Amino acid sequence: YYCRSNFEAYHGPSSQQHAPTTASIDADDHDADAMITRDLWRNHRLIAPASSSKKWWDAALHLLMMYGCFYTPMQAAFRIHHAPAHLALDYFFDVLFWLDIVVTFRTVRRAHAPLTPSPVPTARATLGAQTFYDEDNELVHDVTRIARSYVRTRFVLDLVGTFPFEVFALGAAGDVHSDAFKACRLLRLFRLARVRKLHPNSTSALASTSTVKMNLGRLARLLTYFLFLAHIIACVWWVIGASYD
């Protein structure tokens, strides 16, 4: 079982007789999360969402998602031709998103069973990564429950946003520059669901971060939505104007 009470029982209390400071609490949280991350991978081959490597992985895919969601509509609207090297790079990014689907199946996460967040403060919620506990304050690491939870939530969106539907259009049209090929690539926009993943609005996420960080995260998410919406509207207006030429 992976819970913070076990960590303190093994390593001793995280604070001495004096009142704990913010720095000592953060250090204890970091030590506990490091031990949990190491034991989860060693014993179950599972990934803790609070691990630094998982945070960097999510941040990198977030940047790739932003690139795809802004470039793909512009490519379809302005009929930008696919250079072979650029197309190969896009499919390399797709491979990374396929890999992320596999990683998500092996990542400890909230299940749809009635789970409650741990009342004990967890590590800092960088990019919204959280570790969730059940009623006994223990990490949920059952692979079946993790897979069932992922399939019931974001799996379909991730699959539609990653599957190369344009290959079927390529078989029909026989040209990567065809409108059908570019239109099928617009399904990559389903990757915007990752914005919700990286910036959750749950009570547990808000409880473990400061008010300033919480407001900055909300502001960044709103700016992302508005910028993307303005970009889509501009692309649609260009297509409408070009159709009259």
Neighbours of 121 (CB within 10 A): 13
**Which pLDDT does position 95 carry in this prediction?**
96
- Tell me the whole-structure pTM to 2 decimals: 0.72
Question: Helices in the chain by DSSP H: which ranges?
Answer: 4-11, 22-44, 52-77, 84-105, 143-152, 155-162, 166-173, 179-185, 193-198, 203-207, 211-243
Q: With beta carbons less than 8 A apart as the criterion, state whether 29 and 121 touch.
A: yes
**Which pLDDT does position 110 carry in this prediction?**
47
Tens of each residue's pLDDT in the chain, 245 residues: 444 445 444 444 544 444 555 555 555 566 777 888 888 888 888 888 778 888 899 989 999 998 998 999 998 898 888 788 988 999 999 999 999 999 999 988 644 434 334 444 333 332 233 344 555 556 677 888 888 888 988 899 999 999 999 888 887 777 777 888 888 999 999 988 776 655 444 444 444 456 887 788 788 888 888 999 999 999 999 999 888 86
**Which pLDDT does position 124 carry in this prediction?**
32
Q: In the chain, what's the furthest Cα-to-Cα distance?
A: 79
- Beta bridge pairs of residue 47: 107
The end-to-end CA distance of the chain, in Å, is 67
Q: Which residues contact 222 (CB under 8 A, 6 or more apart)?
A: none
**Which pLDDT does position 151 carry in this prediction?**
92
Q: What is the dihedral of CA 46, 49, 54, 58, to 10 degrees?
A: 130
Q: 109 is written with which tokens?
A: 């996460």
**Which pLDDT does position 205 carry in this prediction?**
44
